[in-house]
Amino acid sequence: MEFTLISVLLTILFLAILQVGFVIHVRNTLVASAAEGARYAANANRGLADGAARTEALIAESLSPSLAGEVSSRLVDFDGAATVEVNVTTTLPLAGLLGVDRGLSVSGHAVAEPG
């Protein structure tokens, strides 16, 4: 009887730790994809739409197309330097890939090349 109670608690704790690790993995992958999309859009021969498309492709390739959510890019001024910002807003996974819609928002930045 005691083993059953303890094993249920340990199983729940183990699954919760796995889910936290999965959420951190998803967040880090989204940040890396947004940063890569911003660097891609910051090239002199590329546009903002190219960076957003690159970000969506990276997210679909590394995680799931459903986690691409809303991807937007824009040009911002950061201390006098033109900077590309790529924002990704998607579902915060709480139980597997199910979770809070629009619960996770990350961004990536890169200095735009003149041209």
Write the pLDDT tens digit of every residue in 21-79: 999 999 999 999 999 999 999 998 999 999 999 999 999 999 988 888 899 999 999 88
pLDDT for the residue numbered 64: 87
Judge whether 41 and 110 are in contact, CB under 8 Å: yes
Q: Whole-model pTM?
A: 0.88
pLDDT for the residue numbered 95: 79
Judge whether 55 and 35 are in contact, CB under 8 Å: no
The answer, yes or no, to whether residue 115 has pLDDT greater than 80, is no
pLDDT for the residue numbered 92: 87
84: CB partners within 8 A, 6+ apart: 38, 41, 42, 48, 51, 73, 74, 75, 76, 109, 110, 111, 112
pLDDT band with cut points at 50, 70 and 90 for residue 110 = very high
Average pLDDT over residues 12-27: 93
User: Taking the mean position of all CA atoms in its chain, how far away is CA 85?
Assistant: 13
Judge whether 84 and 110 are in contact, CB under 8 Å: yes
Rounded to an integer, what distance in angstroms lies between the CA atom of residue 24 and that of residue 81? 31
